[in-house]
Amino acid sequence: MGGEADDRAPREQQSPSQPAFPNRKPRRRTRDPSQRTHKTTTRLSDTEKTEITAAAKQRAVTVARFLAAAGLAVARGSTTVHTNERLDAAIDELVSLRTAISRVANNINQIAFVYNAGGQPRPGELDRALTAVNRVLARVDDTADTLVKKRL
């Protein structure tokens, strides 16, 4: 090995533009008609791209395959996509509930003020406030159940 002469012919330097095997005919890959042949472009924020890339990597698939599988799952009804309309409706309901809770809390504070001053609230005032609290809490529970079912 060390000092022996190499009886092989020295390699010729090939330029990058010359093929390594000039007599070889390139094989054309034929696509199965069921394979994906259409391409789409998707715009993502940096955060969305990071999340999607990580999810694809975790599943050991390409980002394109991951997006196709996720899109098809939604299209076929095996999962849902959150729309802005549903999110807007949920936010509106939560704002409405917050307003209702603030009003009931204000009424209860006024009743407590009257009691602390040694007086008596008007007849039925405390019952109405407690009924309002229970009604708002029921709305909170219903809204939470709806959100969990819709997975907003």
Q: Where is pLDDT greater, at 141 or 80?
A: 141
* 143 Cβ contact list (under 8 Å, min separation 6): 90, 93, 94, 97
Tell whether 57 and 90 lie within a shared domain.
Answer: no
Tell whether 95 and 145 lie within a shared domain.
Answer: yes
- Our count of domains for the chain comes to 2
Rounded distance, CA 128 to CA 131, Å?
5
DSSP count for the chain of H helices, then E strands? 4, 0
Tell whether 134 and 112 lie within a shared domain.
Answer: yes
CATH of the domain at 139: 1.20.58
Tell whether 134 and 99 lie within a shared domain.
Answer: yes
Among the residue ranges 44-53, 107-116, 143-152, the one predicted with the least confidence is: 143-152
List the domain range (segments joined by +) for residue 63. Answer: 46-75
pLDDT at 133 over 60: yes
| Average pLDDT of the residues in 128-142 | 87
Tell whether 99 and 116 lie within a shared domain.
Answer: yes
**Is residue 5 in some structural domain?**
no
**Is residue 32 in some structural domain?**
no
**Is residue 31 in some structural domain?**
no
Rounded distance, CA 22 to CA 29, Å?
19
Domain boundary among 75, 94, 125: 75
Domain boundary among 35, 54, 75: 75
Contact 77, 141 (CB under 8 A): no
pTM: 0.40
Q: What is the pLDDT of residue 43?
A: 92
Contact 144, 115 (CB under 8 A): no
